[in-house]
Chain A
C-alpha cells in the first residue's frame, strides 16, 4: 500500500470547469505539499499546508488532518493549467513520500 494515494490519475476538463484533485495519506505529517510539474520536468511548489485552507489565485488547497486527506481545487480552469499535480508528505525520518500524480489536461 502506498503511503500517499492520489485520485484521479488522469483528468480531462473543458476550459472554465472546476477541478478537484484528491490526496489521501497514511503517514503522519507536519505539512502536506502540492507540486505542479509541467511537460519537460520542471516542478513548482504550489502550496505547503498543515491545516485549513490556502488560496493562491485560482488555486485552492484544503487539508483535513484528522481524516488525512487533502484536496486541490482549480477554479475556472485554463489550458495553461495542464500539468501533472503531485501531493507530497514528509514521513518518519523527514523523508518525503509522493503521490503518483494526477495528469490534468484542460481543453480550450
Chain B
C-alpha cells in the first residue's frame, strides 16, 4: 500500500505570495491532518479534515486554510505569505479522527522557504 505523499517537496516563495500544498493520504484513510514544524515552535497542529469537513483547527490565523476532496486528498493554502511561514509542512492520514486514538501516518513534508 502506498504511503502518504506530499507535493511539492520543496518550495520557495516571496512575501505576499500565496501557496497551495497537496497531500494524498493512504488509500482508505478518511482523515488528513496538517502540521507546521519550525525550529523555534516545533510541531504545531494546523487543522484536520475528515470526510471533506474540517473537524478541528489549531491556533493559526485565517491566512491558513485547507480543504479535502471526495477522494480524501487534501490541500492547504497559505495566503499573503510572511517570512515566519517558512517551515516544514507535514500532513498525516489516519483511518478515523486522529484524536480518537488512531495511528497517524506522516508524509515526507513540504519544505517552504519564504524570502
B73 CB → nearest A CB, Å: 20
A-B contact count (CB 8 A): 67
Q: Please provide the chain A residues from 43 to 91 with a CB less than 8 Å away from any CB of chain B in the complex.
A: 43-45, 48, 50, 86, 88, 90-91
Interface set of B (CB-CB < 8 Å, partner A): 33, 35, 37, 42-45, 48, 55-58, 88, 90, 92, 97-106, 108-109, 111
A42: Cβ under 8 A from any B Cβ: yes
Known: A43-B90, A95-B48, A95-B57. A30 touches B43 (CB 8 A): no
The residues of B that contact A35 with a CB separation of less than 8 Å are 106
Question: Which interface class (under 10, 10 to 19, 20 to 34, 35 or more) fits A?
Answer: 20 to 34
Contact sample, A vs B, 11 pairs, CB 8 Å cutoff: A30-B101, A35-B106, A43-B92, A43-B106, A86-B43, A91-B99, A94-B100, A96-B98, A98-B44, A98-B45, A100-B42
